[in-house]
């Protein structure tokens, strides 16, 4: 075990002032007045980009009319954990509605070649101890995670409760019955006492609004709807259908980084159109060591997961159990005094961050042979302005003769024509164009979830959240009784998203089952509790504002143009483990403070 108490001594000469200027220069090149408006939703003439390549388009079923206790919207980890924990508590009257044709959420949709999780499997895949399962490797491939989702659904008998290929369109509070009326695109009419909306993060794909995008006459798709019928192969690559194709890919974020090596080894020729290079650190994946498996004691997963979230959340733990590139970043970027206290000196922190980023750039030089290409692949921004990436084959792909990096120097692709992609006046003819251009992130909740939510007095959630979310602890809203939203907005945000989803699921299930036990018909936060929590979030957000504004544009900072909702969309500033503790303490209080309860039999 490595002690986290010592900063890593690295002897690198950093000119902080010069690098600050370079960071600002690179950021300013990328700032655009249309910011978030530069993207294109998958609707209208782009609707076909959103079609599900894994589902049976002929699927039909009769509409259902039913009365149930709990409706869960979404069958990803959020829905699975909520459903699983409800089942553990004996709740049988349950329905799960999912847009895809199976459970899995992110891992149902994202099956692109190379898709894998960048958080260690032993802490990312939930309920490993309950399922008696240990993943095959440290950083699991998408297929193994998707299979784990199905195992969870089987273990908790969630399949009989599931409606797949179904989209909830409207959720409306019926005051007279004190229940939610839920309508779907298959004309189901469901009446539910409780609704838990687990529609996920980064689940609505977006396209760039590049001029001419609709004119491209070749084959095109978004990475989250990978077209294996065209490319051949599978999640491990071997894309035989591309052997005679010239392929272009736009986007070099976490998705692009993982899929580009497979495109490089399969396509006749690959053009990578880059706007901003990502930081790409070592991956060091490895099969699960049987000795590790033997060493595990009951409760190990929670301990390991908490340890990781503590360290990566900037807190202190005497040992680093995971010891990977994530915890290494924090060790490097948040230097500590020998007793473990973080160094508060901003100059020391800045120097540490710049040193870490310089090491990332040196890694590019060590791997990429062509010096000009290497230079273009070097990231110049604060490490946490964008999601850090980890890959051991990505940079090497640029040493292949069939791969060209087309660096747009921060400008992005200029135009798309019927034949291909234009950058700096030069057209690159393509057979196939792949968009690794990401997903909506904390925009309008109802739009991202694809449904209208109407609470008491006919008010819509969109209207109540017009300026950004208003919640207690991120998942309950005044005026929307018995309605829960699973999200990171106004909640704990952790690198290991599933950790936070699990804590929210536990708490939501606790509230629901306590209400059932005590005969509470409706529950919602008081206006005062909601206002106080919103104030906690907004005042906490002030601390991150300057940092985000100095960042190069990306989805973390609303593409460089702060929106009114930004402060309200922020996370609990005390950190993810403080959020876990807060929820633990709150659940321990039988009064569920801050909630307004109405008992069954009392007038609405």
How far is Cα 94 from Cα 162, in angstroms, rounded to an integer? 9
- How far apart are CB 29 and ligand N01 at their closest, in Å? 10
- How far apart are CB 536 and ligand N01 at their closest, in Å? 25
Of 472 and 498, CB closest to ligand N01: 498
Of 158 and 436, CB closest to ligand N01: 436
Instruction: Quote the tokens at residue 379.
Output: 């990231």
- How far apart are CB 250 and ligand N01 at their closest, in Å? 5
- How far apart are CB 587 and ligand N01 at their closest, in Å? 28
Q: String of b and e for 130-144 (b: at least 16 CB within 10 Å)? A: ebeebbeebbbbbeb
Q: DSSP letter at 289? A: P
Site of interaction with ligand N01 (CB under 6 A): 30, 116-118, 202, 208, 210, 250-256, 258, 273, 275-276, 387, 408, 412-413, 436-439, 554-555
Of 251 and 525, CB closest to ligand N01: 251
Beta strands in 257-378 (DSSP E): 269-274, 280-281
Per the listing, tokens 């687990």 go with 198
Of 166 and 552, CB closest to ligand N01: 552
- How far apart are CB 331 and ligand N01 at their closest, in Å? 21
| CB-based contact 475:487 (threshold 8 Å) | yes
Of 34 and 532, CB closest to ligand N01: 34
- How far apart are CB 116 and ligand N01 at their closest, in Å? 6
Q: In what order do the strands lie in the sheet with 432-435?
A: 219-222, 432-435, 246-250, 269-274, 403-407
Of 75 and 256, CB closest to ligand N01: 256
Q: String of b and e for 573-602 (b: at least 16 CB within 10 Å)? A: bebbbebbebbeebbeeeebebbebbeeee
- How far apart are CB 470 and ligand N01 at their closest, in Å? 25
Of 124 and 473, CB closest to ligand N01: 124
Nearest 5°: phi and psi at 384? Answer: -95, 15
Instruction: Quote the tokens at residue 279.
Output: 């930081």
Nearest to 270 by CA among 91, 160, 401: 401
Of 273 and 475, CB closest to ligand N01: 273
What are the Cα distances from residue 58, in Å, to 55, 187, 352, 581? 9, 17, 56, 47
How far is Cα 416 from Cα 213, in angstroms, rounded to an integer? 5
How far is Cα 503 from Cα 543, in angstroms, rounded to an integer? 25
Of 435 and 483, CB closest to ligand N01: 435
DSSP 66-126: EEEEEEEE--SHHHHHHHHHHHHTT---EEEE-SSSSS-THHHH---TT-B-SS-HHHHST
- Facing residues of 406 across strands? 273
CA dihedral 298, 304, 305, 311 (to 10 degrees): 160
Of 233 and 412, CB closest to ligand N01: 412
Residues contacting 91, CB < 8 A, separation 6+: 69, 70, 512, 513, 516
Nearest to 9 by CA among 295, 410, 356, 481: 356
CA dihedral 492, 495, 497, 499 (to 10 degrees): -80
Strands 595-599, 520-525: pairing kind: antiparallel
- How far apart are CB 205 and ligand N01 at their closest, in Å? 8
Beta strands in 74-111 (DSSP E): 94-97
Of 461 and 566, CB closest to ligand N01: 566
- How far apart are CB 556 and ligand N01 at their closest, in Å? 8
Nearest to 72 by CA among 105, 107, 108, 117: 105
Of 78 and 335, CB closest to ligand N01: 78
- How far apart are CB 142 and ligand N01 at their closest, in Å? 9
- How far apart are CB 208 and ligand N01 at their closest, in Å? 4
Residues contacting 16, CB < 8 A, separation 6+: 347, 350, 351, 354
- How far apart are CB 509 and ligand N01 at their closest, in Å? 26
How far is Cα 118 from Cα 183, in angstroms, rounded to an integer? 37
Of 117 and 534, CB closest to ligand N01: 117
| CB-based contact 46:70 (threshold 8 Å) | no
- How far apart are CB 295 and ligand N01 at their closest, in Å? 26
């Amino acid at each position: 075990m490595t002690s986290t108490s010592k900063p890593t001594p690295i002897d690198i000469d950093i000119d902080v002032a010069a690098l600050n200027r370079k960071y600002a220069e690179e950021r300013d090149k990328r700032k655009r007045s249309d910011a978030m408006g530069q993207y294109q939703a998958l609707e209208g003439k782009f609707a076909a980009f959103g079609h599900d390549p894994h589902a049976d388009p002929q699927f039909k079923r009769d509409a259902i009319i039913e009365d149930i206790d709990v409706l869960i919207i979404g069958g990803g980890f959020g829905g699975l954990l909520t459903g699983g924990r409800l089942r553990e508590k004996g709740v049988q009257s349950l329905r799960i509605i999912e847009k895809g044709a199976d459970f899995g959420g992110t891992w149902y949709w994202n099956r692109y070649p190379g898709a894998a999780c960048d958080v260690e499997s032993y802490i990312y895949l939930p309920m490993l101890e309950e399922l008696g399962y240990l993943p095959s490797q440290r950083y699991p491939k998408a297929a193994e995670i998707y299979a784990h989702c199905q195992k969870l659904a089987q273990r908790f008998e969630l399949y009989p409760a599931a409606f797949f290929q179904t989209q909830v369109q409207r959720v409306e509070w019926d005051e007279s019955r004190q229940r939610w009326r839920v309508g779907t695109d298959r004309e189901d009419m469901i009446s539910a006492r409780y609704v838990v909306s687990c529609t996920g993060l980064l689940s609505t794909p977006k396209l760039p609004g590049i001029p001419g995008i609709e004119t491209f006459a070749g084959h095109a798709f978004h990475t989250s709807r990978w077209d294996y019928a065209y490319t051949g192969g599978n999640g491990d690559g071997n894309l035989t259908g591309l052997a005679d194709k010239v392929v272009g890919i736009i986007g070099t974020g976490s998705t692009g980084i993982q899929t580009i090596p497979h495109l490089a080894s399969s396509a006749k020729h690959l053009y990578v159109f880059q706007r901003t290079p990502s930081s790409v650190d070592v991956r060091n994946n490895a099969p699960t060591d049987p000795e590790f498996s033997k060493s595990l004691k009951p409760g190990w997963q929670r301990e390991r997961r908490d340890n990781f979230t503590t360290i990566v959340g900037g807190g202190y733990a005497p040992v680093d159990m995971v010891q990977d590139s994530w915890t290494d970043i924090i060790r490097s970027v948040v230097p500590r005094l020998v007793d473990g206290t973080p160094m508060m000196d901003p100059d020391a922190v800045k120097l540490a961050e710049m040193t870490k980023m310089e090491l990332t750039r040196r890694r590019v030089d060590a791997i990429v042979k062509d010096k000009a290409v290497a230079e273009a692949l070097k990231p110049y921004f604060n490490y946490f302005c964008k999601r850090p990436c980890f890959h051991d084959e990505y940079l090497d792909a640029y040493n292949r003769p069939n791969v060209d990096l087309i660096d747009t120097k921060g400008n992005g692709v200029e135009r798309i024509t019927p034949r291909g992609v234009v950058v700096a006046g030069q057209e690159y003819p393509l057979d196939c164009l792949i968009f690794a251009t990401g997903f909506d992130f904390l925009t309008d909740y109802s739009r991202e979830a694809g449904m209208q939510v109407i609470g008491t007095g006919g008010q819509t959630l969109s209207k109540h959240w017009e300026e950004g979310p208003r919640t207690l602890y991120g998942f309950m809203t005044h005026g929307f009784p018995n309605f829960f939203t699973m999200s990171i907005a106004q909640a704990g945000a952790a690198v290991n998203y599933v950790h936070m989803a699990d804590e929210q699921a536990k708490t939501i299930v606790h509230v629901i089952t306590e209400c059932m036990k005590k005969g509470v018909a409706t529950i919602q936060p008081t206006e005062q509790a909601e206002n106080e929590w919103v104030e906690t979030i907004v005042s906490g957000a002030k601390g991150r504002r300057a940092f985000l504004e100095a960042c190069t544009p990306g989805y973390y900072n609303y593409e460089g143009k702060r929106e009114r909702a930004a402060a309200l969309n922020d996370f609990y500033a005390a950190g993810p483990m403080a959020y876990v503790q807060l929820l633990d303490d709150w659940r321990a209080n039988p009064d569920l403070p801050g909630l307004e309860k109405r008992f069954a039999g009392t007038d609405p």
